């Protein structure tokens, strides 16, 4: 308890920084300056029925949990769904996917009063935290109010586990308070158990159950056909990676279109400026076309900026080969499963620890190639652009991989159902009862 008190004191001391960060990020993403009271546990939404709560911190988690959210909505039709997030981009994606079907609010900061107000206001019958969201005060509040919490699609790298072990006095009670954890793989399950989680099951990766938007995929394929030339996608790139990849591409003379989609929307303008600086070498001096402005690439264009949200199905369907970002620098990688689900050949760099199981499976299946850095990634991608037969084999392998590993949603749902039923059996209000009273 004393360690959690010290942790809370540090959070309180950092409050001015939290507020300054909200203001600063709000310059580019206005969503950060809206509903500030929710960050401290004050909500205008009044729950009318029993509530099931799912927390997806940002964009990746919001997309990953979409199949589970839909399954929960269908299974518990008498309940309201509450979705929380931490980032403006995440909230936008949740709104795109679930507007009208769920209430969407900010998760409060991990102050004891704020999280207690959150739990007592919404009184969730079940909490679902997606991937690696471990907040000591939030979990303590859920435990105090008998709210069972599941860690869904849980992943735990050895680096992350070592960090939690260094702070075991705070972390172990939090992990121990979880009612269940649905791990992506055996290694994740073992690390979660070693950190104190008692009920751990290997349920697979929810991202394999995400089906690409059919209309976006169709539009992407039509867009590529109209271009009549190869398309190389630099997907979900992170800061510092674009420069390395563009410099490697400057040495290539292939008549292709390079489509660059940054991972974070607040970097769209920054990346546009970077592309503009490279246009003399890579774009024939022409202005860089942008999807957000409805601009189409001309035959002379070699660079195109994909600066829109919620369209990854379009971009992957439009690509012949995709280099997955977050992997060139030591950032752990981004979601390669989206590319596999689109039947697109995949190349990624050396850093894929956030997707260790998925990347291993993709390599073993022949759906992906791994490079040691930006230069090699570009060389591998260019080789694939010249080898249609190999691209087709890799694309088919990716589709087969996704088909073989579907089913995580139903395994997650079974665990969620058992926890809701256990809560009812203990004499607490059932999941279909009114939230108040």
Catalytic-role residue among 29, 38, 48, 61: 61
- According to DSSP H, which parts of 99-240 are helical? 112-122, 136-144, 158-166, 168-176, 186-194, 214-227
CATH of 214-404, one of 1.10.150.240, 3.90.226.10, 3.40.50.2000, 3.40.718.10: 3.40.50.2000
Q: Could you say which DSSP state residue 286 is in?
A: P
Cβ of 51: how many Cβ atoms within 10 Å? 21
How confident is the model at residue 433, as a pLDDT? 38
How confident is the model at residue 123, as a pLDDT? 96
How confident is the model at residue 425, as a pLDDT? 58
Question: Where do you find CATH 3.40.50.11720 in the chain?
Answer: 20-204+407-425
- Say how far apart CA 349 and CA 251 lie, in whole Å: 19
State the average pLDDT over residues 18-40: 92
The set of residues, in sequence order, having a beta carbon less than 8 Å from that of 77 and lying 6+ positions away, is: none
User: Does residue 331 carry a pLDDT above 80?
Assistant: yes
- pLDDT tens column, 105-138: 999 999 999 999 999 999 999 999 999 899 999 9
How many whole angstroms from its chain centre is CA 177? 24
Mean per-residue pLDDT over the chain, rounded: 93
- pLDDT tens column, 390-413: 999 999 999 999 999 999 999 999
Please state the pTM of the whole predicted model.
0.89
User: Does residue 16 carry a pLDDT above 80?
Assistant: yes
Residue 295 tokens, joined: 């601009």
Active site residue 61: yes
Question: What fold is seen in the domain 20-204+407-425?
Answer: Rossmann fold (3.40.50)
- pLDDT tens column, 311-320: 999 999 999 9
Question: Where do you find CATH 3.40.50.2000 in the chain?
Answer: 214-404
- pLDDT tens column, 144-191: 999 999 999 999 999 999 999 999 999 999 999 999 999 999 999 999
- DSSP-assigned letters across all residues of 234-298: EEEE-TTHHHHHHHHHTT-----EEEEEESSGGGHHHHHHHHHHTHHHHSTTPPPEEGGGT----
- Say how far apart CA 432 and CA 214 lie, in whole Å: 34
């Amino acid at each position: 308890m004393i360690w959690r008190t010290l942790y809370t004191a540090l959070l309180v001391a950092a409050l001015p920084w939290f507020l300054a960060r909200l203001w600063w990020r709000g310059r580019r993403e206005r969503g950060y300056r809206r509903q500030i009271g929710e960050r401290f546990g004050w909500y205008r939404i009044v729950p009318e029925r029993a509530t099931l709560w799912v927390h997806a911190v940002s964009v990746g988690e919001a997309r990953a949990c979409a199949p589970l959210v839909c399954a929960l909505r269908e299974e518990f039709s008498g309940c309201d769904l509450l979705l929380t997030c931490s980032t403006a981009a995440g909230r936008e994606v949740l709104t795109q996917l679930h507007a009208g079907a769920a209430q969407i609010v900010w998760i409060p900061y991990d102050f004891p009063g704020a999280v207690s107000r959150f739990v007592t206001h919404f009184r969730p019958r079940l909490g679902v935290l997606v991937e690696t969201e471990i907040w000591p005060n939030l979990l303590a509040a859920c435990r105090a109010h008998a709210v069972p919490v599941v860690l869904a699609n849980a992943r735990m790298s050895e680096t992350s586990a070592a960090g939690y072990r260094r702070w075991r006095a705070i972390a172990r009670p939090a992990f121990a308070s979880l009612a269940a954890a649905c791990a992506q793989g055996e290694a994740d399950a073992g690390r979660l158990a070693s950190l104190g989680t008692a009920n751990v099951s290997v349920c697979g990766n929810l991202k394999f159950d995400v089906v690409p938007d059919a209309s976006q995929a169709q539009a992407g394929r039509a867009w590529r056909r109209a271009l009549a030339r190869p398309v190389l996608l630099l997907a979900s790139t992170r800061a510092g990676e674009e420069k390395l990849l563009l410099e490697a591409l400057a040495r290539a003379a292939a008549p292709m279109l390079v489509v660059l989609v940054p991972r974070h929307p607040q970097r769209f303008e920054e990346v546009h400026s970077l592309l503009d600086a490279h246009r003399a070498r890579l774009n024939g001096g022409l202005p860089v076309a942008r999807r957000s402005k409805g601009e189409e690439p001309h035959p002379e264009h070699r660079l195109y900026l994909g600066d829109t949200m919620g369209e990854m199905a379009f971009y992957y369907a439009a690509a012949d080969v995709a280099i997955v970002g977050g992997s060139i620098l030591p950032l752990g990688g981004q979601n390669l499963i989206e590319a596999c689900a689109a039947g697109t050949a995949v190349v990624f760099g050396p850093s894929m620890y956030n997707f260790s199981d998925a990347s291993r499976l993709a390599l073993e299946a022949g759906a992906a190639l791994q490079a040691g850095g930006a230069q090699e990634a570009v060389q591998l991608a260019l080789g694939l652009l010249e080898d249609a037969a190999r691209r087709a084999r890799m694309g088919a392998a990716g589709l087969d991989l996704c088909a073989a590993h579907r089913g995580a949603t139903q395994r997650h749902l079974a665990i969620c159902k058992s926890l809701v039923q256990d809560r009812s059996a203990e004499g607490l209000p059932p999941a279909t009862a009114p939230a108040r009273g």
